[in-house]
Amino acid sequence: MALLHEALIYDDDEKFVAVLAPFLAEGVRRREAAVAVVPEHHAGPLREGLGADADEVRFIESADWYRRPASTIAGWSGLVADAIERGYSSVRIVGEVEFGAGERHDSWTRYESALNDVFATLPGWAICPYDTRRLPGRVVADALRTHPVVRAGRRAPSELYEEPDDLLRAMAEPLPPVSPVPLVALRLTDPLSVRRARRTIEAIAHNLGWDRAAVSGLLLVVSEIALNSLIHGRGDRRIHIWAEQSSITCEVIDDGDGLADPLAGYRPPENPRSAGVGLWLANQLSDWLSIEHRDGANRVRFRFSR
Amino acid sequence: MMLGEVTIVLAVRAVSDLTVHDHLCFVYDRPAEARQSLLDYVVAGLARCERVHVYREPGAPGATIEKGLRAAGLPVSDLMASGMLLVGSAGETCLAGDDGDAARLVDVVATATRAALDEGLTGLRVYVETGFLLDQPDALAAWPGCELRFDLLAKQLPITAVCAYDVREWTPGNLALAEMVHTRRSRHHGALRMHAGRDGTLRLSGEVDWSAADQVYRLLVKTAWSRPTPVLDVSGVSFVDVSGARSIGTACEAIAGRHGPTRLRAAPPLLREIWDSATWSASFPSVRLED
């Protein structure tokens, strides 16, 4: 069984409930696990539409669920694994993505595309509602590129659908914006220079008043990205650091070829020895992580906010 | 002052500052300074009414200890005749058994300490030169485990111990491994350490990162036989990355057949984060993360 991944394009709440309540109710009747990740203002009407079946559906607030694309993928992995462990054969999902600020729209469109690959063999059916009253036209249009099936008036295969490998290459993850001059620039020459970079960032965070717990994830990501650069990159490796009161942004640059697999960092690692555990964790922990390969330079920029 | 001079000054200070229960990894590269350190160490022990055992190697700094003590005005013959001072061969003492097991030294020291206490002395002070291990592959492989047992013994009895390593003879990898299983070290670089607490629990502390991952793996595997409990206290791990966490997990699996599951006590949040995010519990079933 493969994942059915559909988009629902809608412009009124009655239509939202009219499509999704029967969809989830049917899942309940078929003894499938049913999950609705929706904004608070949609939870009430959807519960009402489901009637008694609402008790069998797990509701999650979308603002809590859609914080970072990679951790949302990890969340789905855990949720599906849990459902299967409890004896469900399949999962029905309503997932209304919180696209957030405009600068992150492409991040979430890339996430929607990656789902088709990461969960290709997942026994489930997911419908992602797109509210045309709230979302920009470009975001809604991109839903046709990231969902094999679209319900817009009628249910039909999307002729504009693109394979994840193609879309992720065509649509770059936007880089977290920074000022032109970093606060600190360090050269990465060997593993001990990675330790020095950690010390520097720890000192910066300390001066900003961040406690140890807040900075430990950042130090881990710095280590993993810097080591990836030392091991896989080429030429002059540097780390740049920007600090603001509520965020620290770092960037590791080298002359490497960049990632061969555009889905690296989205797929959960198969085992501890498989490549990509560090990048997976970096994606999990960072508030914003972007990898760019341009003009012969590979650039990984990541931001942690307090 | 040159960097080498700084290193030896730190090493000499480390030896003269020792107190009971200290177990020092004394790394030296200048025999003259090492001889002076040994002399100070022995004199300080005798002054504190400790029995002193020096286990030396031919050609190493300990070879001239009697001469140095006489020059300092000490009655060496009387001290040796009364048992206050024993000077013996490190290799012969450690490898005396048929099995060539260097752990015999631990039993020798334990017995000597109890005898010293019975005689009203305050404890035992030990100095061991380690060069004899370098042409004994089996003993060398088992040495980190011996050091760890020695560390535990020094916690439990009034023992002060110095293990002397000639940096010119030891490989950096083996030396780094040896340094980690001492409560004190003369070289002030790196912070990774594994040593025994008074309750017998082993503590791993410092930065367990990519640079240290291989050492951590080797240390955990090589010392498995000497650990009194399957508990490893990791509360002192100040940083761990994926490579470091993987080395712990892989080592615990490698020794599971003989050692059973390893309980990582007081696992820091970062270690848990890696374990949970990468879903390693299934891959490393012989690791138990505990609060």
Interval B188-202: pLDDT, tens: 555 688 877 777 778
One domain, residues B180 and B47: yes
Cβ–Cβ gap A272/B273 under 8 Å: no
Same domain, B280 and B144: no
pLDDT at A153: 84
Mean pLDDT of chain B: 86
Domain containing B223 — which CATH number? Answer: 3.30.750.24
How many domains does chain B fold into? 2
Same domain, residue pair B75 and B29 = yes
Average pLDDT over residues B257-282: 90
Write the residue in A191, A213, A219 that is nearest to B210 by C-beta: A191
Tell me which of B169, B189, B209 is where a domain ends. Answer: B189
pLDDT over threshold 50, residue B1: no
Nearest to B242 among A74, A271, A277 (CB): A277
Beta-ladder partners of A129 = A8
In terms of residue numbers, what domain contains B11?
3-189
Residue A31, sorted as left (phi over 0), alpha (psi -120 to 50) or beta, turns out to be: left
Whether ipTM > 0.90 holds is no
- Choose among A191, A227, A284: nearest Cβ to B277: A284
Helix spans in A171-275 (H):
191-207, 212-232
Q: Answer whether A108's CB lies under 8 Å from A73's CB.
A: no
Q: Which CATH number goes with the domain that contains B126?
A: 3.40.50.300
pLDDT of residue A211: 84
pLDDT classification of B5: cutoffs 50, 70, 90: very low
How far A194 CA lies from chain B's nearest CA (Å)? Answer: 10
Write out the residue limits of the CATH 3.30.565.10 domain(s) in chain A: 184-305
| pLDDT (0 to 100) of residue B16 | 66
Instruction: State whether B157 and B65 are in the same domain.
Output: yes
Q: Report pLDDT for A271.
A: 78
The beta-strand segments (E) located in chain B are 23-28, 50-56, 85-89, 123-129, 159-166, 184-185, 193-196, 202-208, 231-240, 262-265, 287-289
pLDDT bin (cut points 50, 70, 90) of residue B14 is low
Query: Does B271 contact A at CB distance below 8 Å?
Result: no
pLDDT at B7 over 50: no
Assess whether B138 and B275 both reside in one domain: no
**Confidence bin at B152 (pLDDT 50/70/90):** confident
Q: Is residue B168 pLDDT above 90, yes or no? A: no
Task: Give B92-101 pLDDT, tens digit per residue.
Answer: 988 876 555 6
Q: Does B215 share its domain with B151?
A: no
The phi-psi region of residue B20 (left if phi > 0; otherwise alpha if psi is between -120 and 50; otherwise beta) is: beta
Q: Which of A191, A271, A280 is the closest to B283 by Cβ?
A: A271
Taking the C-alpha atoms of A114, A117, A119 and A123 in order, what is their torsion angle to the nearest 10 degrees?
140
- Among the candidates B189, B212, B247, a domain finishes at B189
pLDDT at site B98:
59
Q: Residue A269 is nearest to which of B249, B270, B278, comparing CB atoms?
A: B278
Containing H/E element for B158? none
At B174, is the pLDDT very low, low, confident or very high (cuts 50, 70, 90)?
A: confident
**CATH number for the domain formed by residue range(s) A184-305:** 3.30.565.10
B242 and A278 in contact by Cβ < 8 A? yes
Residues of chain B in contact with residue A213, where contact means CB-CB under 8 angstroms, are 269
Measured between its terminal Cα atoms, the distance across chain A in Å is: 41
Q: Is B78 helix (H, G, I), strand (E, B) or coil?
A: helix
Domain-ending residue, one of B166, B189, B212:
B189
Best to test chain A binding among B248, B277, B287 (most A CBs inside 10 Å): B277
Given CB atoms, is A198 within the 8 Å cutoff of chain B? yes
> For domain A4-170, which architecture applies?
3-Layer(aba) Sandwich (3.40)
Indicate where chain A has its CATH 3.40.50.300 domain(s).
4-170
Cβ of B270 within 8 Å of Cβ of A277? The answer is no
pLDDT of res. B100: 58
Structure-token match 């906010």, residue found: A305
Q: Please indicate whether, in this complex, the C-beta atoms of A268 and B279 are within 8 angstroms of each other.
A: yes
CA distance linking residue A259 with residue B101, whole number of Å: 51
Residues B200 and B160 in one domain: no
Q: Are residues B269 and B180 in the same domain?
A: no
Q: Is the domain of B129 the same as that of B253?
A: no
Question: Chain B neighbours among A 247-306 (CB < 8 Å)?
Answer: 268-269, 271-273, 277-278, 280-281, 284-285
Q: Which residues of chain A, if any, have pLDDT below 50?
A: none
H or E element at residue B238: strand B231-240
Mutation target to probe the B interface, by most B beta carbons within 10 A, among A220, A270, A286 is A220
Cβ-defined contact of B241 to A273 (cutoff 8 Å):
no
**What is the phi/psi pair of residue B179, to 5°?**
-60, -35
Give yes or no: residues B149 and B95 share one domain: yes
Q: Which residues of A touch B274 (CB under 8 A)?
A: 220, 281
pLDDT at B9 over 60: no
B239 touches chain A (CB under 8 A): yes
